Amino acid sequence: MKQIIARNIEALPESEKMVVSLYYYDELTMKEIGKVLYITESRVSQIHTQAMLRMRGRLKKEIK
């Protein structure tokens, strides 16, 4: 399962991959990520949501 998730993270667009990495691996808050990437906390949240939806769709296809 970890390999499947890692592969799906790697397939994300660069901005989504960066947000996911900073949030889950570096454990930064969305506010902190916004400061690092020079975007608003709201935009970080949007990118995170988009990444999760994209990954959820791909994972559903792979697991079935």
Q: What is the DSSP string of 2-56?
A: HHHHHHHHHTS-HHHHHHHIIIIIS---HHHHHHHHTS-HHHHHHHHHHHHHHHH
pLDDT of residue 5: 87
pLDDT of residue 4: 86
Model confidence, pTM: 0.90
pLDDT in tens, 7-60: 999 999 999 999 999 999 999 999 999 999 999 999 999 999 999 999 999 988
